[in-house]
Amino acid sequence: MYPTISDLIKDLFGLNIPLPVQTFGFFMACSFAAAYMATGSELKRKESLGFLHTFQKSVTLNKPVSLSDFIINILIGALIGYKILEAILNYSSLTQNPQEFILSSKGNIFGALIGAGIAFYYKKKDADAVKGKEQKEEMQTVHPYQLMGNILGIAALTGLIGAKIFHNLENLDDFARDPMGALISFSGLTFYGGLIVAAFAVIYYTRKNGIPTLHMIDAAAPALILAYGIGRIGCQMSGDGDWGINNLSPKPRWMNFLPDWTWSFRYPHNVVGEGIPIPGCEGNHCTMLQFPVFPTPFYETIMALGIFVLLWSIRKKIKIPGLLFSLYLILNGMERFFIEKIRVNTTYSIFQHHITQAEIISSLLFFIGVAGSVYLIFFKKEHIEKELL
């Protein structure tokens, strides 16, 4: 396993380059970048077909810089400088545990002063640039795809909040033992929690800006499953605990052409420190699972990327708005429901049956997708096309 990108570089090229970048975080960033590009591409395509339209936005020009603007920028600059200079002077502390370093009170007061000074300088330049100029309002034309930066920011923030909330609801005992640690830790994220909360936030924002909801969710459908698949690469490569149940069975003959780890794996050097000590290992991340397990992140990566290819290939053929997203819900629900059968997870006891949070939500998404497909195909096709085109 490769808890950090430095571990990956060292294994591939034999170079020891200490970098403050964790493998899971790196692939999470890649997943957001991929979702940004895929969704933006779809919004451009839909606009070219006339499904989406530009809108006018009022922009204030030559607005004077207020005292509060100066104060906020100086505080932000001071905080950034406080952390950056300390990171430079104490780089080993940053690379050893980036999350702990960022969330700690560690910093350098001289860095804070430098950061505050730089922030003041640039804000002063902004103030001088508009000094003496008349403030005025101007209408600017905005394309839907130009909102992708805001959409991505909203999705990232609300998705993180939702993922933490659903994870803590699923692990109330851990939350009760250390509430603050559970809330601020970067580990412990539930995908469906992030998906649900972020979806409502993004839909609210895009509707306010005149983007029809059905076209928006269709544009995002392939991107969502693509981002999920890329994120699962990070889970597999870092060993973040999202693995399967014990798998002591011999590898099937039909898998002989694949490496042994694709059938069962002990996740050595996993990032969460789970398992037993690795003989002769020194330093951080020196544990591996006592028994081999199913590498479920690997399976989910394959299935998610396969679903993406399917959705991307048929997106131009589906003419009913909302139908592509309904299909995404069906396929995503099926994939997650069945992977839960061999995956380690917290279970609830309902009517004497043990079921996971993900199984409950994936089942709901599946039935919503089926109901949505039936409704759109048989009852709303003509009405929606007239309404949205």
| Burial environment of residue 25 by CB neighbours within 10 A (0 to 12, 13 to 18, 19 or more) | middle
Determine contact, residues 328/336, Cβ cutoff 8 Å.
Answer: no
Is residue 212 within 8 Å of residue 388, measured between CB atoms? yes
The whole-chain average pLDDT of the chain stands at 87
User: What pLDDT shows up at residue 311?
Assistant: 97
pLDDT digits (tens, 9 = 90+) for 9-18: 988 898 888 8
Integer-rounded Cα radius of gyration of the chain: 24
pLDDT score for 389: 47
pLDDT tens across 163-198, in order? Answer: 777 666 656 566 566 565 545 555 555 666 777 888
More confident residue, 43 or 188: 43
Q: Where are the beta strands (DSSP E) in 55-135?
A: 55-61
State the Cα–Cα distance between residues 358 and 355, nearest whole angstrom.
8
Does residue 93 have a pLDDT over 90? no
Taking residues 191-214, report their average pLDDT.
86
Q: Which of 9, 91, 28 is nearest to 233 (CA)?
A: 28
Distance CA 388, CA 317 (A): 17
Joined tokens for residue 379: 């009852």
Residue-wise pLDDT for 223-262, tens only, equals: 999 999 999 999 999 998 889 999 999 999 999 999 999 9
pLDDT per residue over 271-312, tens digit each? 988 999 999 888 788 999 999 999 999 999 999 999 999 999
For 350-388, how does the pLDDT look when each residue is reduced to its tens digit (9 = 90+)?
666 677 777 888 899 999 999 999 999 887 655 555 544
Mean pLDDT of 83-111: 88
Q: pLDDT-based confidence at 20, cuts 50/70/90? A: confident
Residue count of the chain: 389
User: In the prediction, which pLDDT does 170 show?
Assistant: 59
Higher pLDDT, 178 or 77: 77
Mention every residue, 6+ apart, whose C-beta is less than 8 A from residue 82: 107, 108, 109, 111, 112, 115
Q: φ, ψ for residue 360 (rounded to 5)?
A: -65, -50
